Structure 1
Amino acid sequence: MRIFLFIAALFATGSSHADWHYDKQAIMGTEVHLQFWVDDDSRADEIKRAVMDEFRRIDTALSPYKEDSELSRVNREAGKGAVKISQELADIIQKSLYYSDRTGGAFDITFATLGSLYDFRKGESADIKTTESLLPAVNYRHIALDREQLNLAFKDPRTKIDLGGIAKGYSVDRAIGILQRFGVQNASVSAGGDARLLGDKRGKPWLIGIRHPRDRSKNAAVIPLENTAISTSGDYERFFIDDDDHRVHHIFNPATGKPTDTDAGDTGSDQDKLISVSIIGPQGFDTDPLSTSVFVLGKEKGLALIEQMHNFEAIVIDANHRMFFSSGLEK
């Protein structure tokens, strides 16, 4: 009898079964959430580690806050002459430049020239004189990228870049690729306002909440989605209220070198100001920069841009807290 019990316990210990697995870690200045279904849960820890390690690798390379990152090295040296960069960084900058051209400069990673002078924790911003002085250096056309030689230079020595409007979308795509290589077919990965969904939630859609931009305890909408990406940009993510009672947030208008104006007033232009933008599309590498672009462009031009693009939809909330949808979501 004792032998039988020992053998039964041994087999029970070595068994594995299918189940959902979860992880949450602080990386890239936000919380990374991972949820996936795996048929053999003995591999769950290995999968979690591989996904989170990839987020850390990207953060190490692309963070503007880490002095030894590739991005920080570029910002120190590219204004003095061409510098060698990785294939990965070249690909991300190329995608960024594509959206700069496509949006007439509404998406522009050189916003960091002035954006780097803002400290949202301390409530500090660039003064008017500094803004006027550095504004000419905010222009994506100052970026000289040689993809064949993997060289990058800035034509204005004062120019700096920040990939905050595209790196998280890129990262969730990379995470999904890792999950697929492990054979995972159902998963959700999110980093801040960017999420990518693999398959459905085992026979039902994923329900993705779009946060109410003025009440963090509520959702403005809940969207059923599967096998897609969604990115949300809002003026509530990183901000402070200045001495004039204006909201100063992290989404910059490259044309002014200042945060995009989202304060509601008494004019009809408030109908065009946006405080939240969500873009749905095939991959985060596109939805992330598009959510920023539409936010800067405003409701009319932003929705018009999405209507021109195949397989993309938008949900926007204006300064008067009204919600609007692209035509594909109204059907």
Structure 2
Amino acid sequence: MTVVPLTEHRQQARLMGSAFEFVTVTAANDPEDHLDTAVAEVRRMEALLTEFSDTSQTARLNRAAGIHAVDVDPEVYAILQRCREISRLTQGAFDITAGVLKKLYDFRNKPAVLPGRAAIDDALQRVGWDKIVLTPPGQAYLPVPGMHIGFGAIGKGYAADKVKSVLLQKGIRSGVINASGDLTAWGTRPDGTPWKVGIADPDAPDRVMAWIPVHQASVATSGNYEQYVEIDGTRYSHNIDPKTGLPVHGIKSATVVSPSAELSDALATAVTVMGPAVGLHFIDQLPNTHCLIIDDQNRLDTSRRLSITLNPAP
């Protein structure tokens, strides 16, 4: 019996405001790598969910806030349902309505200052996952004028899951969808070894601090080492606590491993908001879900069942 060698194919593209990399593994004599199919699927979802196009369903929902309900596609209705469920599970640490809070902060200009309490309290009146009204069979409504939803903390993971599903239907039994570190992997590399994910050192992002083997799993990282401000000696993340309206601190990066890239993406944000102790305790209660945290003192801690390989310090 002749064994057909396997080939690894790669393609990169700028999508959803992030650098995507698509990897598929096929038989060496298979002329179709389906990479263009993967790119097209992400573009379809970007057009559906982006906040930055007047024609997307997200933009239509935001424009209609406080005015009327909007008919949405079944796909959008389903992701809204799952977002509400993740918000309930995390007690509001994950919340797609928190975008109005982020608009209060500018992480590019220095020196940075925190907005006044009055401005934060005013914005908080328009925040709350439980305010989203979903009416079967397919209507969504943001009841407070000025409410604003965004899928930035879940959209890339959702895209990775959808592309994986499409590629499996095309017969791709091994591959990786990597959206700037939020990724899903299935199967193995052509030589039979598992896919591995490197966890960056927050203080030297080009250096890998640890490796996590990934088999039939998804990984997402939320970190403040690229977008943050320092005020009075405290480093504040670009992640905002939806309950207090303040940027979170205490964690430099949180990496979540779970069966779904969408879930990993959302939970990485939630853990960052929760903080190290609460976040790790929370993850330990979930099946097939693991977490690695690097805190603001560069201490590395993991949930109980996560296996990692540490790189020696330089």
Residues 32-81 of structure 1 deviation map (CA, whole Å, 9 limit, x = unaligned): 0111111244112xx11110011111111111122222111111113212
Provide the C-alpha distance between the structure 2 equivalents of 1:330 and 1:287, rounded to a whole number of angstroms: 17
2:160 is matched with 172
**Cα–Cα, structure 1 residues 28 and 274, in superposed 2: closer, same or farther, change >3 Å?**
same
Provide the C-alpha distance between the structure 2 equivalents of 1:238 and 1:302, rounded to a whole number of angstroms: 21
Are 1:217 and 2:180 matched, yes or no? no
Confirm or deny: 8 A CA contact 1:274 1:317 kept in the other structure: yes
Residues 157-188 of structure 1 deviation map (CA, whole Å, 9 limit, x = unaligned): 12111111111111000111121112111111
Counterpart residue type for residue 279 of structure 1: V
Counterpart residue type for residue 26 of structure 1: R
Shift of residue 229 of structure 1?
Answer: 0.4
Counterpart residue type for residue 300 of structure 1: A
Provide the C-alpha distance between the structure 2 equivalents of 1:115 and 1:91, rounded to a whole number of angstroms: 25
Confirm or deny: 8 A CA contact 2:105 2:115 kept in the other structure: no
Are 1:319 and 2:296 matched, yes or no? yes
Are 1:140 and 2:140 matched, yes or no? no
Aligned match for 1:34, one of 6, 22, 46: 22
Provide the C-alpha distance between the structure 2 equivalents of 1:126 and 1:150, rounded to a whole number of angstroms: 39
1:154 is matched with 142
Counterpart residue type for residue 55 of structure 2: D
Pairwise CA RMSD: 2.1
Provide the C-alpha distance between the structure 2 equivalents of 1:227 and 1:234, rounded to a whole number of angstroms: 24
Q: How does 1:79-158 map to 2 (within 5 A)?
A: 79-121=66-108, 127-128=115-116, 129-146=118-135, 148-158=136-146
Provide the C-alpha distance between the structure 2 equivalents of 1:330 and 1:89, rounded to a whole number of angstroms: 35
Are 1:305 and 2:293 matched, yes or no? no
Confirm or deny: 8 A CA contact 1:55 1:171 kept in the other structure: yes
TM-score (norm 2): 0.89
Confirm or deny: 8 A CA contact 2:173 2:187 kept in the other structure: yes
Provide the C-alpha distance between the structure 2 equivalents of 1:86 and 1:119, rounded to a whole number of angstroms: 33
Counterpart residue type for residue 328 of structure 1: R
Provide the C-alpha distance between the structure 2 equivalents of 1:313 and 1:127, rounded to a whole number of angstroms: 35
Aligned match for 2:195, one of 195, 206, 218: 206
Provide the C-alpha distance between the structure 2 equivalents of 1:125 and 1:41, rounded to a whole number of angstroms: 57
Confirm or deny: 8 A CA contact 2:220 2:268 kept in the other structure: yes
Shift of residue 121 of structure 1?
Answer: 4.5
Are 1:286 and 2:274 matched, yes or no? no
Aligned match for 2:238, one of 230, 244, 250: 250
Segments of 5+ residues of structure 1 without an aligned counterpart are 1-15, 263-272
SS in 2 for 1:43: coil
